């Protein structure tokens, strides 16, 4: 009986560990990337720090930090400038816009996923993405 209980507990622990992949819990922003030069130029982009950027399929995953209370009231947008540099690969220019009216001294880190499939509109199967306020770009291949 103890052996069966041991294997049952072991199975449940393994199942729990394998069923919770790191990226499964990312909140998905319900809007795709916005392509708008005016919105890009007026975006609020000096009130956060980007920690990392990565791509998973057609989703751009941005980890960023800012001061606030909980981050629940933040309004976040990913905005493309609409400009396309015809190099190889072509390049696009993006900014993360954060509207943050929280007046607390906590430092909050969030990781959000954005659908970037609208950025595919070039003749190649890849585009280099440059980010305002982040020194590294990233290659989006599709």
- Residue 128, domain member (yes or no): no
**Confidence category of residue 20, pLDDT binned at 50, 70, 90:** very low
Q: Residue 79 and residue 101: Cα distance in Å, rounded?
A: 20
Confidence of residue 3 (pLDDT cuts 50, 70, 90): low
Q: Tell me: the pLDDT tens digits for 85-141? A: 988 899 999 999 998 988 888 999 999 999 999 998 777 899 999 999 898 999 999
The pLDDT value recorded for residue 97 is: 94
* Residues 66-89: tens digit of each pLDDT: 999 888 889 999 999 999 998 889
Omega of the bond prior to 89 within 30 degrees of 0, cis? yes
User: Within a domain: residue 12?
Assistant: no
Residue 75 within any structural domain of the chain: yes
- Is residue 141 in a domain? no
- With 0.95 as the threshold, say if the pTM is over it: no
Number of independent structural domains in the chain: 1
Q: Has residue 17 been placed in a domain?
A: no
Would 88 be classed as within a structural domain?
Answer: no
Domain that includes residue 64, residue range: 26-81+94-120
What is the token pair recorded at 115?
A: 């659908």
Evaluate if residue 47 carries a pLDDT over 60: yes
Of 89, 86, 75, the closest CA to residue 137 belongs to 89
Does a structural domain hold residue 18?
Answer: no
pLDDT category of residue 22 using cuts at 50, 70 and 90: very low
Radius of gyration over every alpha carbon of the chain, rounded to an integer in angstroms: 19
């Amino acid at each position: 009986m103890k052996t069966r209980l041991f294997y049952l507990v072991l199975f449940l622990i393994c199942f729990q560990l394998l069923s919770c992949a790191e990226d499964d819990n990312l909140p998905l922003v319900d809007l795709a990337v916005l392509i708008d030069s005016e919105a890009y130029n007026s975006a609020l982009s000096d009130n956060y720090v980007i920690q990392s950027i990565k791509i998973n399929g057609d989703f751009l995953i941005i980890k960023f930090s800012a001061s606030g209370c909980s981050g629940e009231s933040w309004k976040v947008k990913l905005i493309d400038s609409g400009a396309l540099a015809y190099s190889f690969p072509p390049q696009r220019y993006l900014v993360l816009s954060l509207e943050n009216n929280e007046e607390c001294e906590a430092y909050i880190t969030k990781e959000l996923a954005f659908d970037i499939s609208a950025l595919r509109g070039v003749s190649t199967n890849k585009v280099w993405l440059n980010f305002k306020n982040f020194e590294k770009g990233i290659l989006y291949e599709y």
